[in-house]
């Protein structure tokens, strides 16, 4: 289990994380979400032992990531990973083997094959997506106990994303790996994360199960026989409201059946419940907190 207690960290004069407390059970896929600059990458760097916390602590089963021994169980894939001008996927593998001697060559080759990556091509000549694929293959070949991923889906095509997700899910299902993944692509997190945390204003603003979180809101589209205005919806727990003459799109907080009944009481000509995904739910949350307009 990963245990974060009263963790605070500043970058220069700017406080990035303040008194973070979190417990992450083993074999979990945790999505870390937040707007740009919220502190997602800082949290991952602290978890990886790259940054040393200003105060508070992180424990991996009572071990600190500041100890090199603990980091044998951790693989951190940053947003912009390291490689030199002469490195190829093969030499990168050798480099990582230096630190993770148990890295699985077969798994690495299989994933490179699935991604159609030339193992002797220069990494610097690869596209961003191809580079990302190489590092994902490395991360999965290491089979770490704790996998920390920062913007891991960036630059990946839909097929690569699917391969990646399946590989992560099978790692977790084998009961060996806990995955922490920070991403802007919330739609990508929705279908495979067990839990999420929302970081805002230096603290964890919200956390829990993604499906439950999304279920707190419901979205409807309505059509009226004549033009309507905002006043009609005044009594409702509105998260967002968009009116175009006779047509309305509304997101409400609460149980969808109850909200449908209350909307039907307004006598719309048509009422349809629309699916709401994690990204929309996140946007409503951050709007509510005044983080974005």
Partner 1 sequence: MTSFKSYFKSHLKANIRPLIYILATVLVLTFLIGVENQPTSRYDFELQQYYQDYKSTLNTPVIFLCILTYVVPVMEFSFFKKRINLDCAYSMPISRVAMGTVHYLTGLITLFGAFTASYLVNFALLLSRGPGYFNFKPMAEHYLLALLLGFAIYSLMVFIFNEANTKGDGIWFMILYTFVLILVMGAINRIIGDYNIFSSGTSSIPVALIISMTSNYKYLVEIDSAQRATFWSSPEYVSWFIFWVVAGIASAVGFFLTFGKRRMERTEEISDSFFGFRTLIPIYAFTGMITFRVSEMIIFWVIIELLALLGYTIYRRGFHYKKSDFIILASLIIFLFIEI
For 125-152, b where at least 16 C-beta lie within 10 A, e where not — what string? ebeeebbbbbbbbbbbbbbbbbbbbbbb
Among residues 8, 15, 28, 50, which is the contact residue for partner 1, using CB under 8 A?
50
Residue 232 · residue 266 · CB < 8 Å: yes
Contacts of 234 (CB under 8 A, 6+ apart): none
**Which residue, 138 or 217, is less far from partner 1 as judged by CB?**
138
Among residues 45, 131, 132, 284, which is the contact residue for partner 1, using CB under 8 A?
45
How many helices and strands (H and E) does the chain possess?
9, 13
Which pair of structure tokens corresponds to residue 132? 């990302």
| 40 lies in the binding site for partner 1 (CB under 8 A) | no
Tokens 């990531």, residue?
65
Write the binding mask 189 to 228 for partner 1: x where contact by CB under 8 A, - elsewhere: ----------------------------------------
**Residue 83 phi, psi dihedral angles, 5° rounding:** -160, 155
Min CB(103)–partner 1 separation in Å: 12
Among residues 13, 36, 62, 68, which is the contact residue for partner 1, using CB under 8 A?
68
CA 5 vs CA 11, 47, 99, 160, 209: distances in Å: 19, 12, 28, 36, 21
**Which residue, 146 or 282, is less far from partner 1 as judged by CB?**
146
Write the binding mask 76 to 95 for partner 1: x where contact by CB under 8 A, - elsewhere: x-x-xxx-x---------xx
Among residues 21, 25, 52, 269, which is the contact residue for partner 1, using CB under 8 A?
52
Among residues 4, 24, 33, 71, which is the contact residue for partner 1, using CB under 8 A?
71
Residues 129-148 binding partner 1 (CB under 8 A) are 148
Tokens 């006043």, residue?
231
Among residues 49, 140, 200, 259, which is the contact residue for partner 1, using CB under 8 A?
49
Which pair of structure tokens corresponds to residue 163? 């391969």
Helix, strand, coil percent values for the chain (each to nearest 5):
35, 30, 35
Min CB(97)–partner 1 separation in Å: 8
Site size for partner 1 (CB under 8 A): 28
**Which residue, 72 or 246, is less far from partner 1 as judged by CB?**
72
Residues 221-260 binding partner 1 (CB under 8 A) are none
Distance CA 202, CA 126 (A): 36
Residue 250 · residue 220 · CB < 8 Å: yes
Which residues sit at the interface with partner 1, rule CB under 8 A? Answer: 11-12, 45, 48-52, 68-72, 74-76, 78, 80-82, 84, 94-95, 98-101, 148
């Amino acid at each position: 289990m990963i245990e974060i207690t009263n963790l605070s960290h500043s970058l220069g004069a700017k406080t990035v994380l303040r008194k973070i407390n979190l417990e992450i059970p083993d074999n979990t896929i945790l999505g870390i979400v937040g707007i740009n600059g919220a502190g997602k990458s800082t949290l991952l760097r602290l978890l990886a032992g790259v940054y040393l916390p200003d105060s508070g602590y992180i424990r991996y089963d009572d071990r600190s990531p500041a100890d090199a021994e603990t980091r044998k169980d951790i693989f951190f894939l940053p947003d912009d990973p390291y490689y030199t001008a002469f490195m190829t996927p093969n030499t990168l593998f050798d480099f990582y083997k230096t630190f993770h001697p148990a890295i699985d060559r077969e798994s690495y080759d299989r994933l490179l094959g699935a991604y159609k990556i030339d193992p002797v091509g220069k990494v610097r000549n690869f596209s961003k997506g191809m580079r990302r694929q190489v590092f994902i293959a490395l991360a999965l070949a290491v089979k770490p106990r704790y996998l920390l991923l920062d913007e891991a889906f960036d630059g990946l095509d839909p097929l690569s994303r699917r391969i990646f997700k399946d590989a992560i899910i099978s790692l977790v299902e084998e009961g060996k790996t806990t995955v922490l993944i920070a991403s802007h692509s919330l739609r990508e997190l929705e279908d495979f994360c067990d839990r999420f945390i929302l970081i805002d204003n230096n603290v964890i603003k919200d956390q829990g199960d993604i499906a439950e979180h999304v279920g707190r809101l419901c979205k409807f589209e309505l059509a009226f026989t004549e033009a309507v205005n905002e006043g009609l919806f005044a009594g409702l727990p509105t998260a967002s409201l968009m009116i175009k003459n006779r047509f309305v799109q509304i997101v409400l907080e609460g149980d969808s059946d109850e909200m449908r009944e209350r909307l039907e009481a307004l006598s719309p000509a048509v009422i349809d419940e629309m699916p709401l995904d994690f990204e929309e739910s996140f946007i409503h949350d951050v709007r509510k907190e005044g983080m974005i307009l």
